[in-house]
Chains A and B, each alone.
Chain A
Amino acid sequence: MLATRALRLIGKRAISTSVCVRGGHGVAKVEDYTLPAYFDRRDSPLPDVSYVQSLSPEQKSLKEKEMGSWAALSNDEKIALYRISFKQSFAEMNQGSAEWKSVLGGVFFFLGFTGLVIIWQRIYVYGAVPHTFDPEYKQQELQRMLDMRVNPIEGISSKWDYENKQWKK
């Protein structure tokens, strides 16, 4: 509006006052995703818009009838009005499906595949293990732990019989 008034001051040109945005390109096109949307959600029971936006003639006449006394509506008409406003009832939207089986199947499948990848990796990628894993070395480690009395009350040294030099029965 301001732009057209300014232009009128400058010179008498025939400018339509409905085109009043800078650049003269007009009002931006309204995208669908910018408008309020309909969705069925348990935790948000009243969506921003009705489900049916463009009413058919019968639905329009039904909406007129809704303006009057609701006792005059038949049960079918009440259900039709409900279906205009909502897509699924709470019972319908809450009902479970068998999707969990596919999900679990997919999970197990990919776990198995990961196992194969790890096996391949163990064989073809990893090098040899250090010498500290040799059985003799491990035995010496255990002997040193027992000598040091590691965890003598509830742990490993408590299971060793120091008198008879063997594991306790």
Chain B
Amino acid sequence: MSVPKPMMRGLLAKRLRFHLPIAFTVAIAASLAYKFMVAEPRKRAYADFYKNYDAVKEFNAMREAGIFESARPSGE
């Protein structure tokens, strides 16, 4: 019956000491991963697309394809 007295205090502090650094590291790692694997490539893709974008040329190509109702292909 001689069981040692169990830990009565500081249980939350002990848990936090262990889990809080892990939580912060995982959160920061997740956000960095998202930034460099999703956000940056997307921004670069948009920048590259619009670097040499000619809106009029694209419009004419779409017009010739016949998708517009008010701007029919030049042949009609």
Contact = CB atoms under 8 A, between A and B. Distances in A.
B18 interface: no
Interface of B is mostly: helix
Interface stretch (B9-17, B29-37, B42-50): B42-50
B67 A144 contact: yes
A144 B68 CA distance: 11
Interface residues of B, number: 11
A64 interface: no
B45 A153 contact: yes
Given A153-B45, A153-B49, A147 B1 contact: no
Interface of A is mostly: loop
Interface residues of A, number: 11
Interface string A137-169: 000000010011100111000100010000000
Contact of A147 (B45, B46, B49, B66): B66
A21 to B, nearest CB: 51
Contact of B46 (A75, A78, A153, A162): A153
B61 A154 contact: no
Given A147-B67, A148-B67, A75 B1 contact: yes
B58 A154 contact: no
Contact of A149 (B42, B45, B58): B58
Contact of B62 (A78, A147, A153, A154): A147
B56 interface: no
The 3 lowest CB-CB distance pairs between A and B, nearest first, are A147-B65, A75-B1, A153-B49
